[in-house]
Structure 1
Amino acid sequence: MVHTATASPWIDGRPGLAAQARIWQTTLPAVRRRAHTDAVALATPRVWTDTIGSLASTSWRIAGAAAPDAPLVLLSAAATASGLPVAPPDAGRGALRRAERLVQAGGPAYIKLGQFIASGQGLLPDEWVEAFAWCRDEAPPLRPGVAARVVADEFGPSSELVEMDPEPLAAGSIGQAHRGVLRDGTPVVVKVRRPRLRRRLRADIETLALASALAERLHPAARSANLSGFVELFAHLTLEELDFRLEAQNLVDCALAFEQAGLDYVRVPRPIPGLVTERVLVMEHMDGVSYAHAPAVYGAELDGERLVELAIRGVLESTLVHGLFHGDLHAGNVLVDDGGNFALVDFGICGRLDVAQRAGLVAFLAAFAAGDAAGQIAAMARFGAIPDGADLPALTAALQEEADRLEQRVDGAVTFDRLGQTLGRVLRVLAAGGFRMPKELVLFFKNLLYLSGFTAGLAPDADLFRHVETILGELWEKHPEVLEAATA
């Protein structure tokens, strides 16, 4: 954990934040543990009264969409986008349309699954990714006045928040964001959770757990890819996102990690002390435009190669050295300002690695760079990702074939359009051998895919893999203790 006792200009820039951050670091770990325990319970198939009601409601929505197989199609596509390759029973255009209709009719849990699919560039066909792009920040907004009432209920009339734009900046599955202004003139973003969301999501997750259990009984591919394990992952990530205090702590911890690593080209919004609750998060507003729009906005002034190098360096150093990383680096969450620096927003999903996990990830990346399949499998075993009884010689041989393809550049440079295919093949080999994806590995592999998309937009001719190799070598020179831990 990065501690607030360290002198921090970022912390000191907002009065009261240091004291508030210490409270969060003391009290919120128990909240995270409870969310994980609840996720496991919700993902365990069982029938309760609220589950029956949710299942009946879901069945009505499915019937209305004329898509009885839609839950399996949707779960399968979302799992594939998360690195668990399980093909839908019908992967054609008809399946896509049925999944779309279910998401549109199903509510927040289903929109959340659509967000997983929207982040599956390279692991799913482009038409699937594009069809669900709206789920990121174009979910149906709250009715006018609802967000303001939630804020008033949380903070009362004496709040430091003196202005709040009634029109939302964006609306997502968990909540929506509005511009605001503090009494001291600071421009802020006000993030408001949807009312009555927790109960509905819990019931829908239980329904998805039943659907995944049924799918695993009927479809060998769903069983081999551990579709029920994906539901547990989905539940874990979703329950953490429901409590905005956890996002505030993510903001603090990641900002301090960036600061201590010297990543002064990355800006993170400060949460406002006294204006953070489970249902509302007020934080500083960040200037900049999505990296997807940066070339059009900044033109020739934009140095794409530099930004790609900085992005890769920032992700790898914060992850491998400090064990903290932003877990959802899609284009809408990565802003570029007119000075060529980054601002990261939306820290609802954050990866946290302990020392042993960091060592395992370093060992995996080293083996990946060296084309060493046996080393990759040994590193994954540190995460508990290789089950007892797995046929390790067969798994190693199959994975080595993929490593050799990569080393020989059979498909050309590892640019954006190649990385997703490469990772997809590797993950299919591992899944066939019983491989299980822990939450942090899912998020890290997704970040690699996001980095490939970043590269495609800003420096499309760059060989992403070579950049990773170079920066890993520099990090090991700068932090030899990381390499020593990985080889211990």
Structure 2
Amino acid sequence: RVRHVRRYREIAQVLLKHGFGHLVDLLELTPFLSLPRRLLRREVAEGPPLTMPEHLRLAIEELGPTFIKMGQILSTRPDLIPPNYLAELERLQDTVPPFPPEAAREQIERELGHPVESLFASFGPQPIAAASLGQVHRATLPSGEAVVVKVQRPEIERVIEVDLEILFDLARLAQERTPLGEAYDLIEIVEDFAATLRGELDYRREGRNADRFRRNFADEPALYIPQVYWDYTTRRVLTLEEIRGVKINDIEGLDAAGLDRYRVAVNSTRIILKEVFEDGFFHADPHPGNFFVMEGEVIGAMDFGMVGYLDPRTKESLLRLFIVAVQRDVEGIVDELLRMGVVERGVERWRLERDIQRMLTKYYGLPLREIRAREVVDDITPVTFRYRLHFPSELWLLAKTLVMMEGVGLQLAPDLDVFAIALPYVQKVLQEMSSPWAMAERFLKGATDLADFLLLFPKQWQRLVDRIEGGEFQVVVRSEREEARLTQWSRIANRLSASILIAAFIIGLSMLLPLIQASRWQGLILLLILAGFISLGFLVLWLLVSLRGPGRR
């Protein structure tokens, strides 16, 4: 704290100015105040009084880029943040004045090792966009291509590292002194945020994201991804092909250019659906400034610093949730949430089911095309906070993305039926989930996990015996007769032997599966595997029955 006294003082003064004096005391920031607290009271603004969530947003914006980014991350955690504060965090603005063009030129020359005049045929002195981490200039390559050059703000890494160090210190105190610290690992949350923010500081990562999007959409003409010029790209400088068009939410501009707004809306919807259902990799910052409509209703995308990922398991869980929600199966919804690990232990299930039932009643009888993502997210948010539902942050990032894209789509075409466009994508994924190979893969994975457990059990059992013999803990066994005890141990040994035999059987069958396509005896091998799985089913059934038999203790 001594090394960063000035920054601690600035944080304390901003918090106190916006009415968060209790946080100043809780986080032990009072000693850093250079003036008495009465002289740092909240400023009285003109107009209607601000709410506390509004003051929090203004305080975060005043504290700079690290805290703005942290606020944006927290806006995807409705289990942590109350709904009224969440709405304000979503409004955080990452806009700051540009830094001098001379500093941008120096940064480029330092990174690329040559004077700007030799690197570019022309270089625009004034930035066309500026944010907390960097700013963008137009330029022309010696070969004539028009490009945009994203330059990182000088010294921003040092500023962010100082702020991250302070955030770790504040998280440690909050972990010890707040109820939130009892329910969450606040230090781990800051660690995840630090990793995300440091990743954004590496512009090569953004370039790789752009390349990945281009590969994913190589066969999709409706989306255009600008080329990355890697010879002009480093950790702190990113050079991309310049794309020009009409901003996607500029309705008058689209009409003036003779572009079909409905087709643009359909294309933008198809793009996000492909990202989610097919690629599992989506653009997570789809505000209108990042998308331009080009000739032929082609959508050009920009800014690939923030992306989201969905693994196959999460996609399957989302689809199952969607299906049981459409069926109004409240118990099925809670079961799926439990399967996903979203619900904490000890939650009162009947209360959660009651609140979900109330939420679903609102949509009963409503056609799917009339259901809006914004409204659904707003209804889910308070339930998430009330029961501390730990949805993966990627899902909330996806929800925000869908809400933004839906808003743009409805601006372009108010009668757009998103569900009708999504139906083919959903059907395709459901077919893939229910295909014989997908079922066999899931069964094989489960069987392999079971086999690993059964094979490791003897070693774990031996370790347990060694610990008992070493006197690390005591085991008290009460038995009426010695003969009964020996009989019980005999049964345990028999079941263990059978379990190991089943594990070996599973591994043997799993080794045969790859031979189905590689061998000309496909029918015979498939018959053997089928017979093996049937035999395995009987063995497992016998083992389960024996475990539930009268000999179990």
TM-score by length of 1: 0.71
Listed as ranges, the matches of 1:270-349 within 5 Å are 270-299=227-256, 301-349=258-306
Counterpart of 2:480? none
Report the alpha carbon displacement of residue 162 of structure 1 after superposing the two structures with TM: 3.4
Confirm or deny: 8 A CA contact 2:277 2:429 kept in the other structure.
no
Residue by residue over 1:150-207, the C-alpha shift from the partner in whole angstroms, topping out at 9 and shown as x without a partner, is 1110112276433321111111122111111111111111111112222322332443
Residue 413 of structure 2 is aligned to residue 475 of structure 1:
no
Q: Distance in 2 between matches of 1:176 and 1:221?
A: 37
Counterpart of 1:358? 315
Q: Distance in 2 between matches of 1:372 and 1:407?
A: 12
Match of 1:68 among 7, 16, 20: 20
Counterpart of 1:151? 108
Report the alpha carbon displacement of residue 51 of structure 1 after superposing the two structures with TM: 6.3
The one-letter amino acid of 2:425's match is L
Counterpart of 2:154? 195
* Secondary structure in structure 2 of the residue aligned to 1:424: helix
Confirm or deny: 8 A CA contact 1:320 1:361 kept in the other structure.
no
Report the alpha carbon displacement of residue 218 of structure 1 after superposing the two structures with TM: 7.4
* Secondary structure in structure 1 of the residue aligned to 2:101: coil
Match of 2:125 among 152, 162, 166: 166
Q: Distance in 1 between matches of 2:111 and 2:422?
A: 45
Listed as ranges, the matches of 1:59-208 within 5 Å are 59-63=12-16, 65=17, 67-68=19-20, 93-95=50-52, 98-99=55-56, 101-112=58-69, 128=88, 132=92, 135-136=93-94, 138-157=95-114, 160-208=119-167
Q: RCO (CA 8 Å, sep 6+): is it higher in 1 or 2?
A: 1
Counterpart of 2:205? 246
Across the aligned residues of Structure 1 and Structure 2, the Cα RMSD in angstroms comes to 3.8
Q: Distance in 2 between matches of 1:299 and 1:472?
A: 30
Residue 414 of structure 2 is aligned to residue 460 of structure 1:
yes
**C-alpha spacing 1:320/1:278, structure 2 compared with 1 (3 Å):** same
Confirm or deny: 8 A CA contact 1:270 1:283 kept in the other structure.
yes
Q: Distance in 1 between matches of 2:23 and 2:223?
A: 39
The one-letter amino acid of 1:197's match is I
Confirm or deny: 8 A CA contact 2:121 2:144 kept in the other structure.
no
Counterpart of 1:57? 10
Match of 1:444 among 398, 401, 421: 398
Q: Distance in 2 between matches of 1:250 and 1:435?
A: 30
Confirm or deny: 8 A CA contact 1:258 1:318 kept in the other structure.
no
Q: Distance in 2 between matches of 1:408 and 1:166?
A: 58
Report the alpha carbon displacement of residue 410 of structure 1 after superposing the two structures with TM: 10
Confirm or deny: 8 A CA contact 2:135 2:150 kept in the other structure.
yes
Residue by residue over 1:389-448, the C-alpha shift from the partner in whole angstroms, topping out at 9 and shown as x without a partner, is 433443233223212322433999324xxx323212213213322212323112111111
The count of corresponding residues between Structure 1 and Structure 2 is 408
Unaligned runs of 5+ in 2: 25-47, 78-82, 443-553
TM-score by length of 2: 0.64
* Secondary structure in structure 1 of the residue aligned to 2:238: strand
The one-letter amino acid of 1:483's match is M
Counterpart of 2:355? 398
Unaligned runs of 5+ in 1: 1-47, 73-90
Q: Distance in 1 between matches of 2:324 and 2:105?
A: 52
Counterpart of 2:506? none
Residue by residue over 1:267-306, the C-alpha shift from the partner in whole angstroms, topping out at 9 and shown as x without a partner, is 1112112222111111111112322214444349343333
